[in-house]
A and B are shown apart, each in its own frame.
Chain A
Amino acid sequence: MKQWLSLALGIMTATGGFLDAATIASAAQAGAQFGFGLIWAVLLATGALILLVEMAGRFTAVSEKTYADAIREHFGFKLYLIPLSAEIIAESLLLTAELGGIAIAISLFTGINWHFLFPVAALLVWLLVWRAPFSFIENAPATLGLLTIFFLVGIGLLGGPPHALWPTLWHPDIPQGQMATYLYLVAATLGATISPYLLFFYSSGAREEHWTWRSLALNRATAFIGMGFGCLGSIALVVLGGIVLRPLNITAGTLGEVGLAMARPMGIFGSLIFATVLFSTCLGAALEVVLAISYNIAQGFGWEWSEDKKPVEAARFNVTLTVFLLIALGIGLLGMDPLQIALLASTVIALFLPFSLAPFLIIMNDRTYLGTKTNGRFANIAMIFVLMLAFVVAIVSIPLLILSGGG
């Protein structure tokens, strides 16, 4: 019974980690601008993420070390600084976007200008990471995130996708002059979905929960079912964007517009469901991002760390949490639209992906850590493919951002 509960909780965590402001923004824009033409990118990103999450969990369960620990031990501290620096830059932007997403979600409920709610969002996240235990952080926002199932209900109430939209699944309809935007959204989708912070958080979370080799089955189920469910939510947003927003010439340039796709089939209930999903997924993602950065730094520098320890017992870890929230607050108070920051963060993540993912290829084949549970041939081939994909995306992400004008 306890194992089933752990499985359910793990799936909820995976769902909450998959969807965030960046994923919601890129999925809705993809559907609104190109119909089903970017679903292949969502599926590709999901496959890569399942592979990486399974490996991160397997590594931690068997070796009882986190991914960050392994990078530092295996490659040395100086080389470890490269992925760490990349993560700090990318995740600072992403944290700002998630805080903005929380502020916008509260704004959709209250009508108050989200600029005034941004510090409230930062305070809420700080209070939770400072006081709440890991189990609450892991499960509470993710439980609300299960409301994404209503996206599928909305599609059903709309009668499903119209026949004219289906061909865009295998033959994307790219208007004249929109190729750069299409390719930019591909890169943004990959960057938004394959976010290294999820791997660092997942690996550290597995240590927080004292996973061992007995947790391998749970890890695999979490990776496949949890990420699969998250992918379903993302694809549902693409479909809703294609059915509702595209015919209205709406491109989902702001997060509130995405909710209109749920308001059409389900009225006020649908729009509020969307606002709740936005709140819970952005809150969950903000908690995971700020914890991931702090775990990464604390593990890299050999500090005490754990969300379940009192702040005084892991002082530097908790100070790091606070510092990064202040940095995100500072960036956010500049007033940039959170959706634009989210897409920019996805691009930056895509740019730095190879630095964060490359160590996997060596660590997952090291019998010192994994014994007989190292990668098989298929996993290694898949990993090389993911790395090659990450390199290509890293090279093209900035030129595409410039050519497309930011989507």
Chain B
Amino acid sequence: MVGWLGVGGEHARPILLFTKYLQVQPKTVGKMNQYVWHVWHVWRAWSKRIVVHALLSILVLCAGCQTQISQSAFAHMASNASAAFAAAEATLRYEHAGKITSAYAESSFINYQSELSKLPQTLPAQSGAPHAQTLRHLLHVVAPALTAVAHPCLQASCGWRTQVAELAAASSALQKVSNS
């Protein structure tokens, strides 16, 4: 290993041919050699200690680690959809409170539509999905919210408060099912 990494002699041949092919300057090869040789020295002195400590650390982490690293695909998608409905609800409220312009709201809802339009088809197909009855109930709650996202009520005269409630309900239902 040391020889191949290029200290000198016949073992240095592979690295010398490689650097010659890449047209690396000899002084650079010398410097690279020095760095590699130094690192190799340190590794030889410390390798056993490093490996033992690393193995012990991994064992301790695995034994002590009760936190799941990632969610199931269903929980992940439900969580993202919940957040998107929450954002849609906040956007609608802010638009009617005069905190954002109608153009801003329209633009935002175009993005929410892109994110959520295929939810009824893709969510049930994810791994980790609950049983069919729960899914049916969930999609029943989500359906009016999807309509609200597709046709948001940005004028004061229409039933925007109903849409806000529908979006909040969908967000809450999806968050609950993603956490269970």
Q: Which A residues are closer than 8 A to B by beta carbons?
A: 74-79, 104, 107-114, 174, 176-181, 248-251, 253-257, 259-260, 263-264, 267-268, 270-272, 275, 337, 362, 365, 403-405
Contacts and interface: CB of A to CB of B under 8 A. Distances in A.
Nearest to B91: A260
Given A108-B107, A254-B115, A270-B99, 5 more contacts: A75-B28, A107-B110, A177-B75, A249-B82, A362-B31
A270 B101 CA distance: 11
A112 B107 CA distance: 7
A263 B94 contact: yes
Main secondary structure of the interface of B (DSSP, over half): helix
A250 B87 contact: yes
B104 interface: yes
B33 interface: no
B85 to A, nearest CB: 9
B107 A248 contact: no
Given A180-B69, A405-B73, A248 B86 contact: yes
Contacts of B79: 251
Contacts of A114: 107, 110-111
A111 B107 contact: yes
A145 to B, nearest CB: 20
Given A178-B71, A251-B80, A111 B86 contact: no
Contacts of A79: 22-24
Nearest to A177: B71
Q: How large is the interface on B (under 10, 10 to 19, 20 to 34, 35 or more residues)?
A: 35 or more
Contact of B70 (A107, A275, A403): A403
A369 to B, nearest CB: 12
A300 to B, nearest CB: 13
B112 to A, nearest CB: 7
Contacts of A275: 104
A255 B114 CA distance: 13
B157 interface: no
Given A263-B99, A337-B114, A108 B104 contact: yes
A271 B70 contact: no
A259 B105 CA distance: 11
A192 to B, nearest CB: 20
Contacts of B108: 108, 254, 256-257
Contacts of A109: 103-104
Nearest to B83: A251
29 contacts: A74-B25, A76-B23, A78-B23, A79-B23, A109-B103, A111-B102, A111-B104, A111-B107, A113-B107, A174-B67, A177-B75, A178-B71, A179-B67, A179-B70, A180-B70, A248-B87, A249-B86, A256-B107, A256-B108, A256-B111, A257-B87, A263-B100, A271-B104, A362-B28, A365-B31, A403-B69, A403-B70, A405-B70, A405-B73
A109 B76 CA distance: 32
B112 A254 contact: yes
Interface string B148-179: 00000000000000000000000100010000
